[in-house]
Structure 1
């Protein structure tokens, strides 16, 4: 098994990948951003259902392209990772577009694949300070978003299994992130270590990659299965455990070591998510906005279907204890699974091709619909409380 240092050094990026990523004349899935590392770009990757290409485009204001009632005033903005962005489907097949078509009003999609909770939150702060702001804010938390918030450069973690396609699919570069101060015991919001396109070429230097991330504790925890544990900073990891109030690392055998690393990683990630959600909620309340959190994690769905305890129960308890508006799509999938006589894998293949396929986005949209309608005030035009069989919709008529 290789060392932690070697794993980082191997992640150095080729100049060709960065050249392509930064070339405005190249179709790229993402585009450079000085604060968040990257935002959505324009591309047509071959990653859809039945071997199809998907059309993924972005508007000038940074949102994914939308068509359903998009010229009408918008009061709902959505933030999150690829399950908010709706990776692997075309622009018109997102859950936001399905809902917009049904409700008669637009829903802006500011999701970006690969983001953690913190990066989505920073995107929210930036967007809500512009003319694209909205009254209703949806923050979508998926799977390992808890951990991504704390990474300085997610590319390092995924470089062994992610294909940048010569730069067209490059992302995960350095971004603003959250980290804990081991001395003070509190979270610190960090700026990206790379803030200009020119500086992005530093990622081709293995020495730079190592020096920039060798003390990234979430990266160490996330690479446990891939590197020699003795090359990690166990002293700092144990200090982190003490700060978070969880058990220190148990090295009595490999199984206990892995379990203790997993508990520490969860504790760090969940603590970060709780901090971020509170900050986002405070912002919304101070700016006369309403916020709702959505959660989905296929790992949780599988655990619940198989009768096991969900690993993220701490987050669920937090939402309930803080009385935070929350929609749990995991529970919808568990209930939906009972309608079929399928293995769990076959059930997942109905809705997922990695991300949701169009059917999965449709299931999500109409599972979430009532929750959303009940939250909105006034109700969307298609749900006005009117006893008449028809209502005045003159403003919807084409010119």
Structure 2
């Protein structure tokens, strides 16, 4: 989207510095997230009142029928669970808000429904707003402390794009009309335009003190002037009027766009960039699993874009990731396919069919959606566990399961 009335990228950066008062408001403890020096942010206990609430820099909606949402986090960083919680967890789940279970209470997440069926606990390390790269780093960190037999690695919608934008989040989500500024940031990944190699970058704001740099306009300019993913993101959304055309052309070349007189549309370029990053991360996940003798099930879900693209018989924006999973014969589960098959059983429009599974028809999964997800993924989960969960054992093997 070209918006000639929008500021240049340089002018946009110059307006991103926040005041000390903005920073203080964002750190008053009202946020649902806790600062983590390595991961950027993790979940902590929070309550969203019925109808939703304003947190620093972001509006968070409540639960079904205008109800409140209650979340508690255990000492090990996983979300509180109840079902067979006294057992030994062989399964851990990592991902964003659809893994964490935004907009539902403890006990209403898909992990809890699946745990009830399998008769064994499932750990939930999802983080609302997380990226694929954050998910990878969280997995490596948690699994080094308490290993699982099976890791479910969840990739939702724009998680891939967030892998590129993690360090830029404070500049994207600066909302002057909000009661505070969302100062969350995260580790990220980028392509080195000289070598074409992927480079991993730590969280640029690992401490509360480091956030003071967001009040320094010169520091912001110097730190972000070459942040190409941020430029593409803002230009595609009409929030800046220009991009660095030389860098865009080089990125397009590295990503395999055919030579052309005109540059690729910034949204298309950002999509392919994000998917290339996720393929790289999945290669790292596969290598990690091989080194440590773990099983990984990649779960895909995107009710906003991919499922509708496939429904319209268009190429899905995350096709590069799907192709990688198939080419490498990796274990994966695609919830988009479940919804497409499910819709064929209904005499409903596609949006009307999907809406029954989401809070207010368009948010995160409601309890019904989480229940559907749990029972849709169960066969893939069972196939990867050895021994099988109790309900799938031969009667002669069930001794001790009662």
Establish whether TM, by shorter chain, passes 0.5. Answer: yes
The yes-or-no answer on 1:62 pairing with 2:77 is yes
Residue segments in structure 2 that go unaligned for 5+ positions in a row: 1-5, 53-61
Q: Distance in 2 between matches of 1:319 and 1:29?
A: 34
Structure 1 residue aligned with 2:366: 357
The yes-or-no answer on 1:90 pairing with 2:105 is yes
Residue 165 of structure 1, CA deviation: 5.6
3-state DSSP of counterpart to 1:138:
strand
Q: Distance in 1 between matches of 2:24 and 2:260?
A: 42
Q: How does 1:273-284 map to 2 (within 5 A)?
A: 273-284=278-289
Contact 2:134 2:163 in 1 (8 A): yes
Which of 7, 11, 21 is residue 2 of structure 1 equivalent to? 7
Structure 2 residue aligned with 1:214: 225
Residue 157 of structure 1, CA deviation: 2.6
3-state DSSP of counterpart to 2:277:
helix
Could you give the per-residue CA deviations for residues 90-124 of structure 1, whole angstroms, max 9, x where no partner exists? 11111111111111111111111111111110111
Could you give the per-residue CA deviations for residues 169-221 of structure 1, whole angstroms, max 9, x where no partner exists? x46x2321111111111011111222211112322334433332221111111
Structure 2 residue aligned with 1:134: 148
Structure 2 residue aligned with 1:332: 338
Which of 375, 380, 390 is residue 366 of structure 1 equivalent to? 375
Structure 2 residue aligned with 1:254: none
The yes-or-no answer on 1:378 pairing with 2:387 is yes
Distance 1:247 1:27, change over 3 A: same
Q: How does 1:233-252 map to 2 (within 5 A)?
A: 233-247=244-258, 251=262
Structure 1 residue aligned with 2:45: 42
The yes-or-no answer on 1:29 pairing with 2:32 is yes
Distance 1:250 1:264, change over 3 A: farther
Structure 1 residue aligned with 2:300: 295
Q: Distance in 1 between matches of 2:215 and 2:326?
A: 45
3-state DSSP of counterpart to 2:299:
strand
3-state DSSP of counterpart to 2:348:
coil
Residue 17 of structure 1, CA deviation: 5.7
Structure 1 residue aligned with 2:137: 122
Q: How does 1:248-327 map to 2 (within 5 A)?
A: 251=262, 260-298=265-303, 299-327=305-333
Which of 89, 93, 118 is residue 78 of structure 1 equivalent to? 93
Contact 2:236 2:266 in 1 (8 A): no
Distance 1:228 1:373, change over 3 A: closer
Q: Distance in 1 between matches of 2:247 and 2:323?
A: 28
RMSD (Å), alpha carbons: 2.3
Distance 1:8 1:313, change over 3 A: same
Contact 1:8 1:210 in 2 (8 A): yes
Contact 1:140 1:294 in 2 (8 A): yes
Residue 309 of structure 1, CA deviation: 2.6
3-state DSSP of counterpart to 2:153:
strand
Contact 1:100 1:107 in 2 (8 A): yes
Residue segments in structure 1 that go unaligned for 5+ positions in a row: 252-256
Q: TM-score scaled by structure 1?
A: 0.88
Q: Distance in 2 between matches of 1:355 and 1:319?
A: 25
Contact 2:7 2:240 in 1 (8 A): no
Contact 2:150 2:384 in 1 (8 A): no
Residue 18 of structure 1, CA deviation: 4.3
Q: Distance in 2 between matches of 1:164 and 1:138?
A: 35
Could you give the per-residue CA deviations for residues 256-285 of structure 1, whole angstroms, max 9, x where no partner exists? x6x632332122111111110010111111
Could you give the per-residue CA deviations for residues 294-336 of structure 1, whole angstroms, max 9, x where no partner exists? 1111211112222323222222111110011010110000011
Distance 1:154 1:27, change over 3 A: closer
Q: Distance in 2 between matches of 1:233 and 1:296?
A: 33
Q: Distance in 1 between matches of 2:43 and 2:179?
A: 16
Residue 166 of structure 1, CA deviation: 4.2
Which of 143, 150, 157 is residue 143 of structure 1 equivalent to? 157
Contact 2:100 2:128 in 1 (8 A): yes
Residue 160 of structure 1, CA deviation: 4.6
- How many correspondences in the alignment? 380
